[in-house]
Structure 1
């Protein structure tokens, strides 16, 4: 029996690439010298696509895939996909929800602690020899008992709130609509939430609806004692406004795992001592990445067998 043909937009882990290739006839688009020319010649062969929240796919690629029916994506983000076009053509999209909630929430807590207690900065202080020279390290700020505002109380936001309970942090959140049954106070006014919060943590989706949701006005409301933590998408924050706010003391600090134009991080951000910068490692544990890869394969297998995805968007 011939293997199903699968178009893979970009590389994932070596283990995933091997497992996919062992089960299907895979065409690696990123390895083609002229990707669009390849699709122009072979695109009608593909019913199934594998991609990720990093690579997504473009309208130009879809135009050359007339028989595409399903996309199985690695990650929870869906902003790099032309969703309107997918709906118009009846192409279904799966993501990998839930399996990464714990790791991303753990990282959000770590960024809160690091940005407030200046852990990365104090590490640099020791490594540079400044401590041994008699210099004193400035005081940080306490995390326990501080007010936590969550923008986007979905699965990951809920996991962050659960962890905050261990730090005795009161929690409020901002969503378009209140979450039924949530024990946390809903704040429909984002500016009001920012004024209330000591830490403003972003766990909302990316895309047009949240583009630059965190702007200069929100940062000013967060204030000179407040910290911003972003484990959502870089597009949610007006990066230029954040840089200015960090430079001028409009906010106390920030912890960032995502950026507007990854993997490019502005030099102005890299020069600042009051921001912790991570290379988009929210789901970056061995265990979670394997669970994500397994779920992509499970979704693809299920769709080929039944015509239905396990975790459709």
Structure 2
């Protein structure tokens, strides 16, 4: 599943990758960038806590040609006042709409993608609602954020160990695919992940997979992790709770036979009408005697109708 999401076989507008301090999503994001460069004309990478040089040092030249880096990590709070982008003060969508690559005429009709590394700084310094609105606004098909340019996919990272489960669930509602990285104790190069994916048909898939990233940040050896069956074991040495009771809860063979022959009250009531009908030879009849207070109208209620 993770391979199909990365290469675009499984369509997904918003992909959320959740990592932790022990298991960083930066290697997987680097692998994702190489796949995105083969599918989209331009990649806009918003670096909030990962410096762009970390990607530039490992990505091949053909991938870098498709990447446009926006560095928000140098001065995220605007303390230096040196003209750098600020996470706290810069409106992300307005900034991207003024970007020369997105606003020039030669980019009309292009397919672009946006990657945010990571959402944690936006959530902390702006608000969770601002972050969720930004993700939805970037992928809005009714009122596209960029004239003539289609945002095919938005990929975002978030540090899940820094946020509450309630906030992460809100992000999960916005995302169409959610990849949760999990610690792998078997090997340093093997990664485990839990994937929740919304297909365009409305079906929701949940799957656990194990994969490996090569030194060139390529996805290798993807296998599905089957959930282990739970076997219930009985302990013969456990005490019998019915051993020391003053009454007996078990039935003898004779008592079981007597119980099976017993006719229950509701069975007897159900069988009684059938026996009466058999004896009478027909169905039942209803006799009604009107009371003195009953008021019967002798006139025809449909007399005024032309029938």
TM-score by structure 1 length?
0.32
| Structure whose CA Rg is larger | 2
TM-score by length of 2: 0.32
More strand by percentage: 2
Query: Which structure is higher in helix share?
Result: 1
The structure, 1 or 2, with the larger RCO (C-alpha pairs under 8 Å, 6+ apart) is 2
